[in-house]
Amino acid sequence: MSSNDGEIFEWKIIDKRQKSSGDWPDEPQESGNPRFRLGVLVSGSGSNLQALIDAIESKELPGVEIALVVSNNIDAYGLERAHKHSLQSMYLPWKHREESEAKLTTWLQLFHVDLIVLAGWMRILSANFLAQFPRRVINIHPALIPDDGTGSTYTTRDGTTIPVFRGLHAVQQALDAGVKVTGSTVHFVTPEVDAGPVICREEVAIQEGDTEESLHERLKALEHRLIVNAVRKLAS
């Protein structure tokens, strides 16, 4: 494979995803109304992206629009969701972080994105990348994080102290630890994984017999409200 193969593949994929052939996706149109523009990054099913799409379409997020959806995974259902709703969507291979982040930065700037939403985005973003978008990148994490994002414990509403579950498999980590309560958190992204200041958060009781799947499903239902609330808060 030549060093250009990745590029060529990428453009082909973009062709497939866009109505146009071989060019950049349609550039954003200037409108009279200043809008609060989201760039949503997904790696998987994109149910949180869908929650944002639904909230915008049902006018629960006035003045907010999704300018661009990006996925590092060509098979992400989130890309299909974007496509179904005629949103600009881009596949971004993530073989070399520096190169991919440089492209991502260009796209986010080209599309005048005000807020970057990591909605099930499974790649770690570097401190250099984040420094270009201060307080403009948010993430949804399926566990409880303390207000300032740091620390290794969290005190639940009933006064119980539980560990903070960060990184992959946070839902399973909560089950393995035998805690009675977990939750989901929307927070600003900092270079430390799942450790940024909290925007909003909600607790959920773990039920007898819960599996990672059943618990994650309940968490996602609340994430869909949380992410909309977080965007509303930041857009106002």
Residues in contact with ligand GRF by CB under 6 A are 42, 44-48, 119-120, 140-142, 184, 220, 223
Residue 17 or 81 having the CB closest to ligand GRF: 81
Residue 14 or 140 having the CB closest to ligand GRF: 140
Minimum separation from the CB atom of position 48 to ligand GRF (A): 3
| Nearest residue to ligand GRF, scored by beta-carbon proximity | 120
Minimum separation from the CB atom of position 26 to ligand GRF (A): 25
Under DSSP, is residue 153 helix (H, G, I), strand (E, B) or coil? strand
Ordered alpha helix ranges (H), the chain: 5-17, 47-57, 77-84, 97-110, 127-131, 170-177, 212-235
Residues 6+ apart with CB under 8 A from 228: 51, 52, 55, 60, 61
Judge contact between 71 and 41, C-beta under 8 A.
yes
**What is the C-alpha to C-alpha distance for residues 85 and 166, in angstroms, rounded to an integer?**
32
Q: Which residue numbers are catalytic?
A: 141
Judge contact between 69 and 42, C-beta under 8 A.
yes
Minimum separation from the CB atom of position 12 to ligand GRF (A): 25
Residue 102 or 168 having the CB closest to ligand GRF: 168
